[in-house]
Structure 1
Amino acid sequence: MTKIVAIGVGSLVFGVELLRDVYQTPELRGSELWLVDLSPEVLRRMGGLAERLNEASGWDVTLRTTTERVEALPGADYVVTSIARDRDATWKKDHELALKHGFPSVLSENGGPGGLSHTLRSIPPMLAIAKDVERLAPQALLLNYTNPENRICLAIHRYTSVRSIGLCHGVAETVEFVAEMLDMPRDDVDLRGAGVNHFVWTTSLTERSSGRDLLPLLRERLGDNPPEKWRLCAMLYDRFGVFPTTGDNHVGEYIGWAAEFIGTEGYDFDAYAQDRVLANRNLDAWAAGTKSVASLLAKPSRESRLGHGCTQIMAALISGRSLRRPSFIIPNQGYVENLDRDSVVEVPGMIEDGSFRGIPVGRLSTPVAAMVRQEIAIQELAVEAAVTGSRDLALQALLIDPCVHSARAAGAFLDDVLAAHRAYLPAFWSS
């Protein structure tokens, strides 16, 4: 019996999408599924939804819920993580503090000064989970969705022996965008790219059915007036001859002058809050049995349709089938020839013969490799700072960041971050 442990199921996207995919994956019929969250209320609602899906699908999954992950982990085959601590409030504060100190931050999530703050908060709880996996379920594969993805995957790689894959839909969404721009079926667009999460650069773009190079056509279609959310990416394509994936707001986190193109408004928290109201209403109705779950079982989740659903990976590993995915976030191991072999990168991924690996993509161009290497160096410092509670290392990460223009402002920003998030940063206040 396959045992799956899902940690952090309170996300209204991740939790619901994971459950609908479990109950549509034949290889997971009769499996054991543990839902883990710190909130008993979340477990009540998600557990209720899982029970409705179990009944409707006839999947005969053994369902368990707990607030204690150590109860769930022993014997796990797969551990799926998607955690956040006070996500919206802390993210909003990070963006406000970055702007307060004059940094042109475009999103403040995974890169720039806000990305450092997010790293300091997120790595300690994720590393604690990974160390519990290492101790209680050393055979398990950890599949992570928690941001900042690249930095968390780096911490797991550096400080544990746990096998892990980071999963993100950014590259797959770029395939959707390209297919729309070129008026082609999404499945016929073969995009390969490399870099770090949310800073992945296209190494090849071909028509799957014919092998035709699609990059000249993409450049032509982008023209002089690219779509609003891809203007920075189009400009980078023009300047460097390499098309970046994931869209302007993500790519812009790693480029000091990105605000010239996309501004500093940041994430739309109000729109997300409105979406959450409807999502909560639907979840309550599904869990209570007053709304049919048939629509959830009618087709795979968006995550799976885009090609980064974790249950697809489980199914391929269980069955021994081969499966190619748009991207894995994993240790380099030579997949990108001119990046450090021990760095963590995002590259196309492959499941084959019951194991996983990246797909080699060759070399990045000189200017692109330089930008990616700089971000890798920042991430190394940020991860070590998060683990050790070193203010000096955190400040070093800021001082080499292209989004930071002032040493004094960097120090003041860091002081504000450590004070604002003190409850989440005990390593920095232990003495």
Structure 2
Amino acid sequence: MKVTLIGAGSREFAGKIVRDLLLSGPIAEKELEIVLMDIAAEPLAEMETYTRQLIEKLHHSATVSSTTDLVPAVSGASFVVTAIEVDRYHYWSQDFTIPRKYGFKQVYGENGGPGGLFHALRQFGPLLEIARAIESHAPDALFLNFSNPEHKVCEAISRLTSVKVVGLCHGYFAGVKQISSLLDIPSEQLELPAAGINHFTWFQEVRDRATGEDLYPRLRERERDANWVSDWHEIGLSRILFRRFGLWPSPSANHIGEYISWADDYVPAQLQYFTDPGEGSPWRDGAETPEWHYHIGAVDTDRPLHAPRPIVSLEDQPLESSEELAIPIIEWVACGVERPLPAVNIPNNGAIPGLPDEMVVEVPARAENGRLVPLQMEPLPEGIFAMIRLQGSIHKLLVEAYVEQSKEKLLQAVLLDPIVDNHNRAVAMVDEFLELQKDALPPLK
């Protein structure tokens, strides 16, 4: 069984997937061939060395090789697992900062908001190149994608190619931990089906797995009694959404807030890419990309003024499985071992009533004949449905903008976004993005 990892120079992504692969009992019974692929040769070589050390340490029978060439990497693969970005933090700092410069109160700027649209446009080309290589050289392979923005890139791939693509993210599990903490009930005792789009899913039920008891009434009581400022950075926005719309959202405030025009009031200290405007553009020649921070609550404020952010080596990572769903999917599809798949990004095909079949949604799924099939979900409440349906239109317009090389379609998508509240500033923002990121964006007419 050939498993190809693209983006294998990433310590976090590739290290995690390699450990998950080699720690899987069912996969160990296969003749596992791991192929590592990246365009960056030096970190790729480091990852190959690390993988060989793990294979030896675990007395595993797997083989590993590496390449910088896409076609041999994917040829004959059973599974292709991908997490790629080009100059991630450089461009992400722009995705976050530029909309705010034009007065749009964008949160985070990774998957939603105007920044998320430009992030997706930069990702479409490289990911479609991978998808078309799979289409030609491994047509039966399952494409497991971790590259953001999940829903947008998976929709482009599923609309424009015949590849079986699945988007994966651990955001669902953050919401599970929040509900478990509020209820003071271990997460394994909870039944928590959720539906929506990536980084904007909603738990349709909260039940005791053993008794079937509806725990939503208890969750409402516990939330009402909770201290407002406890874990504010993660769940302050979730709590107000829960009160207004009736379901608990996932994963956390900075992700959910990307889709909501008024989220800025509930996502404090937008420090993510702080720069001093008096110093000029942070992207001028010779300037360093601003340092990224997940949110103010995660910042090490005790770090000495001039100390660099510490880097954890591969060898220091614990040898344990992650909660990522790539390996459970491989175990089910290739080994026949059924695993819970509570959150995957695939075309809707009727799973969430009322949404277009081709719209990529995040829902539970099961494996059937080498594909993932979404489970049937309950209709979403109208308010939640309206927010998600709008994102579906934005995604569709963005894919059309890419295919048609149309600036007009891109502007339509931008102007539909809830964060955008002014036409003239939106046009100026788009023009600045197109100029600043012209080396990474597709041509638009």
TM-score by length of 1: 0.91
* Cα distance, 1:332 vs structure 2: 0.7
In structure 1, the residue matched to 2:203 is 202
In structure 2, the residue matched to 1:356 is 372
Alpha-carbon separation, structure 2, partners of 1:72 and 1:102: 44
In structure 2, the residue matched to 1:19 is 18
* Cα distance, 1:277 vs structure 2: 5.3
* Cα distance, 1:312 vs structure 2: 1.7
Aligned 1:212-223 pairs, distance under 5 A: 212-223=213-224
In structure 2, the residue matched to 1:372 is 388
- Structure 2, gaps ≥5 residues long: 274-290
1:213-272 per-residue CA deviation (whole Å, 9 max, x = no partner) reads 111111111126443021111111111112211111111100111102214615364457
CA RMSD between the two structures: 2.0
Aligned 1:272-421 pairs, distance under 5 A: 278-279=310-311, 281-283=312-314, 286=315, 295-296=318-319, 299-301=320-322, 304=323, 308-351=324-367, 355-421=371-437
Match of 1:330, SS state, is strand
Give the letter aligned to residue 151 of structure 1: K
Alpha-carbon separation, structure 2, partners of 1:339 and 1:51: 46
In structure 1, the residue matched to 2:288 is none
CA gap 1:400/1:203 in 2 versus in 1, 3 angstroms: same
Give the letter aligned to residue 165 of structure 1: V
Aligned 1:18-417 pairs, distance under 5 A: 18-29=17-28, 30-223=31-224, 225-226=227-228, 227-228=231-232, 229-263=234-268, 265=270, 267=272, 269-271=291-293, 278-279=310-311, 281-283=312-314, 286=315, 295-296=318-319, 299-301=320-322, 304=323, 308-351=324-367, 355-417=371-433
Q: Which moved more, 1:133-142 or 1:174-183?
A: 174-183
Contact kept in structure 1, 2:11 and 2:47, CA below 8 Å? no
Contact kept in structure 1, 2:142 and 2:370, CA below 8 Å? no
In structure 1, the residue matched to 2:3 is 4
Contact kept in structure 2, 1:54 and 1:61, CA below 8 Å? yes
Q: How many residues align?
A: 412
Taking only the aligned residue pairs, the percentage that are identical comes to 37
Contact kept in structure 1, 2:125 and 2:442, CA below 8 Å? no
TM-score by length of 2: 0.88
Alpha-carbon separation, structure 2, partners of 1:270 and 1:423: 22
Match of 1:265, SS state, is coil
Higher RCO structure, 1 or 2 (CA under 8 Å, sep 6+): 1
Contact kept in structure 2, 1:141 and 1:162, CA below 8 Å? yes
Alpha-carbon separation, structure 2, partners of 1:26 and 1:354: 20
Alpha-carbon separation, structure 1, partners of 2:74 and 2:10: 20
CA gap 1:405/1:326 in 2 versus in 1, 3 angstroms: same
